[in-house]
Amino acid sequence: MTPTVLVAVILGFVVVPLAMMVSLLRKRGLTQRLRQEGLRTQGDVLGITKDDEGPDVVHYAFFLPDGSRIESEGHSKASGQLCPGAPLDILYLPEDPRQNQPVDGGTGQVRFILEMIFLIGFMLTAAILFIKEELTPPESPQRPSPQRQLRPFEPQPPRAAPPSKGTPPLGSY
């Protein structure tokens, strides 16, 4: 395998899935931290961005106890029932209010587990195929190619019909 192909394989089947796993772990960690340590407040929906490929994005704002306003966005399971101006429960970290999400948002445990299983399975499948490819011995150059074993096609003249032995006698029916 050439070095360029090897680098492409490593990037595509190792680095990218690992980066996705790190991102997923961070999202799940933030969700757990917000649910354990976060403060709950009520915000207002500013708007909803429809997304055909995934959950809708809810844009919202909320006020901190000191009166400062935080605007953010996230996913909410109730995004279909929300409209601009609707109330939305928010969790935020008191030491960093920019770390926030709707109460029913974030990365749930089932989704986290399924996505991790998929990414690990993807990486294992790629590793198995890569190892299988590396362990397969290359074809030996001494073996004649199939083209050398086959004769070129030579059309044959049409054959004559076999001689007739006459019509068989009809038996009694």
Q: Is residue 147 part of a domain?
A: no
Q: Is the pTM of this model over 0.95?
A: no
Report how many domains make up the chain: 1
Domain that holds residue 46: 3-111
Q: Is residue 104 part of a domain?
A: yes
Per-residue model confidence as pLDDT tens digits over 56-105: 899 999 999 999 999 999 988 887 788 999 999 999 999 999 999 999 98
Other beta carbons less than 10 A from residue 75's beta carbon: 17
pLDDT reported for residue 141: 64
Q: Is residue 143 part of a domain?
A: no
Q: How far is CA 153 from the centre of its chain?
A: 50
Q: Is residue 102 part of a domain?
A: yes
Q: Is residue 152 part of a domain?
A: no
Q: How far apart are CA 97 and CA 153, in angstroms?
A: 80
Q: Is residue 138 part of a domain?
A: no
Q: Is residue 72 part of a domain?
A: yes
Degrees (nearest 5) of the Cα angle 30, 28, 74? 65
| pLDDT surpasses 60 at 144 | no
Reference 101, options 57, 131, 159; nearest CA is 57
Q: Is residue 78 part of a domain?
A: yes
| pLDDT surpasses 70 at 159 | yes
DSSP class of residue 45? Answer: E
Per-residue model confidence as pLDDT tens digits over 11-63: 888 899 999 999 999 999 999 999 999 999 999 999 999 877 778 899 999 99
Which residues, in sequence order, are bridge partners of residue 40? Answer: 91
Query: Would you say how long the chain is, in residues?
Result: 173
